[in-house]
Amino acid sequence: MNRLVVGSGNIFGNLVVVGEAPGAQEDLEGKPFVGKSGKFLKNLLEVSGINIYEEVYFCNVIKCRPPRNRKPTPNEISIHKPWLIQQIKLVNPKVVVLAGSTAMKTILEVNKPISKLRGKCFNLEGIEYIPIFHPSYLLRFSQNEINNPYGLTLKDLQNVRNKLYNL
């Protein structure tokens, strides 16, 4: 198919969640974060105390599905990045969650592994950016442990909630 997947959610929200690129289900529906990983992340946000309907706008670095669901190329990222930056500016959130290394490396322009930067806060032009592990990665871990990537991400999202609601 290859439908354009721009974004969804509240364009006046205080939180933007940026993923890598649309998957098969996103391509089919024309909305980001509607596949298995996206539903999992939405659930994590809600469990963390974030109202996904009132607070969150979802989008991706890449606006259409890469062939065979491969990782986006540096050229594709450079083509789509200005569009992403403009989306973030238009929503003007308090916090941006960067879900996965592609989103983190695109926005923060770093080349470190996400395991070193996840959960840390980066202030760019008055907006706080927080990288988290990609939800598809989290699906590999037990949801009963607090010290694995799933538990760490839950803590990261609770910190996001605290920033959103000034707790």
- pTM for the full model? 0.95
Count CB atoms within 10 A of the CB of residue 48: 18
Structural domains for the chain: 8-164 (3.40.470.10)
Would you list the DSSP string of 48-93?
TT--HHHHEEEEESSSSPPGGGPPPPHHHHHHHHHHHHHHHHHH--
> How would you write the pLDDT of the chain (167 residues) with one tens digit per residue?
578 899 999 999 999 999 999 999 999 999 999 999 999 999 999 999 999 999 999 999 999 998 888 899 999 999 999 999 999 999 999 999 999 999 999 999 999 999 999 999 999 999 999 999 999 998 887 777 778 899 999 999 999 999 999 86
Give me the pLDDT at residue 2, please.
76
Transcribe 126-138 into DSSP letters: TEEEEEE--HHHH
Confidence (pLDDT) at 142: 76
CA 127 to chain centre: 15
